[in-house]
Amino acid sequence: MVFFSANSMFAAGEKNKISNYKIEFFREKEGSANVLHVRCEFDINLNQNDTDTVELKFGGQLGEDSVPDSNLTISSYPAVDYTYDYEQKKLTFRMKGEKHAHITMEYDFLSFSSAFIYREICEIWETSFSEYYYPFIFGEKALFDVTVTAPDNYYIVGSYPFSLEQHAGGMKTYHYKTTNPVVSHACIFAILPDSRYRRITTDNDQTINDIYLIDSIDVPAARMKELADMTTASVDFFSKHLSPYSNEYLGIENKITYIFHTNGFSNRNNVNFISVSQDKFAQKPHILPLVHEIGHRWFGEWTLLIGDGEFGAYFIKESLNEYLSFLFAKNYYGQDFFDGLIDSCQSAYGKIKGSDKDRSLYDMKYNNNNTIVYNKGSLIINEAVKKMGEEQWLLFMKDFYSKYAGKPDLKYENFIELLKQADETSAILLDDLIKGKINI
């Protein structure tokens, strides 16, 4: 019996290098958690002016068990050369005089992130932290048409809203189809055993769609109300200062689904659902970190398409978002709460200031130094905002987001040049702080 299968068709636009993308994920037995067998095929289309090389993001993160060379079978017609660089997470095809080729691939993929973070409570198949379980070109867009079949004792949640199409023979079949091309790395789904989860449907709420809570961890009723209130307030805040939450051209819906897990390590935004540590959610004094995850609807890899490896990538994707969540907190909780956040950043950064770990925010090509990205980053932005003024900063944020959301090949330099047009003095100050030319 097929335990789980998902079929996707990615139909790309005429300008895209990859088109007619068909992919199938499946697992034949329940015991193979966090492992999928994958078959995919697609066409490579190059214009006469293109180079003869096509590079796709691909591969696992933590070890060669994800997609080792020995586990990867690739065929093509006409024949093309390919290389798989595991360290760079890159699959490269080199054409032999032809501008078009059909590629067929087959492999097993072990998701270390899912195994480590969710620890068999659930599986979330993400394209984040360089763990790319299917090949794609970062920044290109596609139409998704996804069908998922799974036993009826599992919940299936997708990055886009699934509808239940069939329920027969102990199996459920779900489907979604995007109406506009969305980023090609946004085919994400979660598999949740209903024996572990309690689904709370909040159809009357305008902000939250579903909540999947783990039954074995108690959550106070007051915390659940706080979640509902703060979600609505933060969505309103980001919508006011950036753009409306719902955007059909980015594939972003107007409701959030929360999925909880048992590892205190990670909260993540996956387009239209957010995964959350239930332990932290139940016990922490406040849940402001979830505002940060909500903020990734705007400042994240689905909308601001600056790739890992680019200078300033995590200033754009994380530091800006963290500081904007601080401004929400100032609006929602008050000035004293905001001041406490800044003090906390100063304390954390003070512990590494001047040490080998103290690096420039510009050098944060990867999210591998939390103190720099979140604490130092927020302090640096706060200096520019004090000079520029909070109202002007928020107006600039709106301008920046409207100009670059969904546009491929975003660079740090695009941000700083646009800021110079708004306030050159503050832009120069911020640039110098980010590049470490002056110290915070």
Mean pLDDT of 416-437: 98
Q: Whole-number mean pLDDT of the chain?
A: 90
Which carries the bigger pLDDT value, residue 20 or residue 391?
391
In tens, the pLDDT along 14-66 reads 457 888 889 988 886 666 778 888 999 999 988 877 788 999 998 876 555 56
Note the pLDDT of residue 14: 46
pLDDT, tens only, 81-103: 999 887 788 899 998 888 899 99
- Coil, strand, or helix at residue 132? strand
**Closest CA relative to residue 240, chosen from 374, 404, 401, 421:** 401
Confidence of residue 1 (pLDDT cuts 50, 70, 90): very low
DSSP string, 397-421: HHHHHHHHTT-SS--HHHHHHHHHH
Which pLDDT value is given to residue 254? 86
**Host H or E run for residue 261:** strand 256-261
pLDDT of residue 113: 82
**Residue of 142, 137, 139 whose CA lies nearest to 56:** 137
- Rounded to whole angstroms, the Cα distance separating 88 from 427 reads 33
C-alpha to C-alpha distance for 78 and 56, rounded to whole angstroms: 19
Within 60-95, strands assigned E span 73-77, 81-85, 90-94
What number is the average pLDDT over the span 136-147?
Answer: 89
- Phi then psi dihedrals of residue 66, to 5 deg: -65, -65
pLDDT at 231 over 50: yes
The pLDDT assigned to 20 comes to 86
Q: How much is the pLDDT for 6?
A: 64
65-79, 389-403, 420-434: the lowest-pLDDT one = 65-79
Residues 342-355 have a mean pLDDT of 97
What mean pLDDT is predicted for residues 212-228?
Answer: 94
pLDDT tier at 374, thresholds 50, 70, 90:
very high
Provide the edge-to-edge strand list for the sheet that holds 256-261.
197-201, 208-214, 256-261, 273-277, 268-270
- Stated pTM of the model: 0.93
Greater confidence, 11 or 320?
Answer: 320
Choice among 118-127, 251-260, 393-402 with the minimum mean pLDDT = 118-127
Q: Is the per-residue pLDDT at 201 higher than 90?
A: no
Q: Answer whether residue 272 shows pLDDT above 70.
A: yes
Q: What is the pLDDT of residue 82?
A: 93
% of the chain at pLDDT higher than 70: 93
pLDDT surpasses 50 at 362: yes
Between residues 20 and 331, the one the model is more confident about: 331
Least confident of 58-62, 362-366, 371-375, 406-410: 58-62
Give pLDDT, residue 89: 84
Q: How far apart are CA 338 and CA 326, in angstroms?
A: 6
**In Å, what is the CA distance from 3 to each residue of 89, 153, 173, 371?**
29, 11, 12, 42
- In this prediction, residue 142 carries a pLDDT of 87
Q: Encoding tokens for residue 86?
A: 């595991």
- Contact (CB, 8 A) for 305 and 186: no
Contact between 57 and 137 under an 8 Å Cβ cutoff? The reply is yes
Comparing CA positions, the residue from 346, 342, 301, 349 lying closest to residue 322 is: 342
